[in-house]
Amino acid sequence: MITGWGLTRSLERIRALGGSTVDHQSLRAEVLAEVGRVVPFDAFVWPLCDPVTATGVAPRARIPCPEELPLLIRLKYLSRQARWTGLARSASPASTLLRDTGGDPSRSPLWDGVMKRYGVADVLSVVFADKYGYWGWLDLWRVGSNGAFSESEAGYLAGVAGELTPLLRRSIASQFGPPDDVEHGRTDAPATEVPSKTGRPRNVARLGELPPQAVLTLDEDLAVVGETASTSDWLELLQPGPRPYQAVPAEVLNVAAQLLAREAGVDDHDAAARVHLGSGRWAFLRASRMASGVSGATPPLAVTIQECPPGARLDMFARCFGLTPRQRELLELASAGASTAAMAASQGTSAYTVQDQFKQIFENCGVRTRASLLAMALGIVAGGSGPRR
């Protein structure tokens, strides 16, 4: 374990990544390499989060048991010990399995149901969260004789969270895409797109139409037992899981596991998540319990996958870019087509103040016009005949 000056230099190197690394995949890879030089570990799991529901998306992982992925995810969500949602409300964003179980890891359903069979001795967990929401969590595993994580190692990872959380949020914000690409319609649309049936105005083009809503049904062990016709199109757009579950995106398992956690009283966040698909497009996943038609039978879980609704997308955009409440209100008013005068009246201020607020929003989001701002936030392109306020 590095101490003193070495720890300070490590945190400085992580802080410096904000000036070079943009996408969250590269950022996480570089952070893992740096953390591994300070805190040795044998395996890890690192998903991002929907900032509101804290449900995992876009996971990175290196684990010894990919063939047990559904069980691993289900028990992770059902375990209270060192749970990321609890860490976000605690004095420190980092803790260990042994600390949270009082030295008895068998109190954790995750350890008792999976980890002990692979010789896991301890887990160091950290959450990345701020006033705008949850952005991810990281679990580091130690196996066998490598032993427990120390308090100083947990303290170091808490320091990493402080440096990394704003960088991680910024990297997620970059998924809304460069405004020039949005304005000029360079979308790299996949072959699974379907024709538009929404009757949108001609001066607005979507960033690639997405398939119709799909539904997967899962049993209590998170095994898929049914799906609708458009499911295969959606599964090609979502991140595949590891073998042998490469056909079942981890996001599907995560929202279903969050529903089980809600039902068990472990956590009260919604069982839903917004997932980036590429080219500025977002999906919305939600899990619910189906009604049972068979007496005494446990009804299956249903996970719906659809295009992210505009309101949910605007919320994600505002959180990613750290907009203030008044800036967020202006964004929502602009998306509804309100004029500058109407925005000023709504906020009880002057048109000049509204314009100054938009200048701050433009600088924060890296755009120059309201049309560019809405193109990024809503995934639309304002055409030549469309209004530009």
297 with 351, same domain: the answer is no
Residue spans of alpha helices (H) in 59-134: 69-78, 84-87, 97-100, 109-113
Whether residue 74 has pLDDT greater than 90: yes
Q: What is the pLDDT of residue 222?
A: 95
240 with 303, same domain: the answer is yes
Tell me how far apart the alpha carbons of residues 373 and 334 are, in angstroms, rounded to a whole number: 9
Q: For residue range 243-283, what is the model confidence (pLDDT) as tens digits?
A: 787 788 899 999 999 999 999 999 999 999 999 998 889 99
Domain enclosing residue 223, as ranges: 204-309
CATH of the domain at 328: 1.10.10.10
Segment 196-222 shows an average pLDDT of 66
Q: Structure pTM?
A: 0.88
Number of domains in the chain: 3
Structure-model confidence comparison of residues 145 and 61, the more confident one: 61
303 with 342, same domain: the answer is no
Count of beta carbons in the 10 Å neighbourhood of residue 328: 18
Q: Which one-letter amino acid corresponds to residue 288?
A: S
Q: What is the pLDDT of residue 146?
A: 76
Burial pattern 282-308, b for ≥16 Cβ within 10 A else e, equals bbbbbbbeeeeeeeeeeebbbbbbbbb
Tell me how far apart the alpha carbons of residues 273 and 279 are, in angstroms, rounded to a whole number: 18
List Cβ neighbours of 342 (8 Å cut-off, separation of 6 or more).
333
Q: What is the pLDDT of residue 387?
A: 34
276 with 329, same domain: the answer is no
298 with 333, same domain: the answer is no
Domain final position from 309, 338, 358: 309
Whether residue 22 has pLDDT greater than 80: no
Domain final position from 250, 282, 309: 309
Domain final position from 309, 326, 360: 309
92 with 240, same domain: the answer is no
Residue with tokens 């101490």: 3
What is the rounded average pLDDT for all residues in the chain? 87
299 with 161, same domain: the answer is no
361 with 214, same domain: the answer is no
Q: For residue range 118-128, what is the model confidence (pLDDT) as tens digits?
A: 999 999 999 99
Structure-model confidence comparison of residues 215 and 180, the more confident one: 215
Count of beta carbons in the 10 Å neighbourhood of residue 85: 21
Percent of the chain with pLDDT over 90: 75
Structure-model confidence comparison of residues 386 and 87, the more confident one: 87
Whether residue 188 has pLDDT greater than 50: no
269 with 328, same domain: the answer is no
Q: Is 9 domain-assigned? A: yes
CATH of the domain at 287: 3.30.450
302 with 323, same domain: the answer is no
Tell me how far apart the alpha carbons of residues 103 and 84 are, in angstroms, rounded to a whole number: 19
Segment 69-73 shows an average pLDDT of 96
Q: What is the pLDDT of residue 380?
A: 79
List Cβ neighbours of 195 (8 Å cut-off, separation of 6 or more).
209
Query: Residue 81 — very low, low, confident or very high, per pLDDT cuts 50/70/90?
Result: very high
Contact 276, 175 (CB under 8 A): yes
Report, in angstroms and rounded to the nearest whole number, the Rg of the chain calculated over CA atoms: 22
Tell me how far apart the alpha carbons of residues 125 and 219 are, in angstroms, rounded to a whole number: 28
**Encoding tokens for residue 315?**
């919320």
Q: What is the pLDDT of residue 178?
A: 52
209 with 242, same domain: the answer is yes
258 with 229, same domain: the answer is yes
Count of beta carbons in the 10 Å neighbourhood of residue 172: 24
Q: What is the pLDDT of residue 20?
A: 67
Q: For residue range 295-319, what is the model confidence (pLDDT) as tens digits?
A: 667 899 999 999 999 999 999 999 9
Q: What is the pLDDT of residue 235?
A: 84
**Encoding tokens for residue 231?**
């499911």
Q: Is 209 domain-assigned? A: yes
CATH of the domain at 109: 3.30.450.40
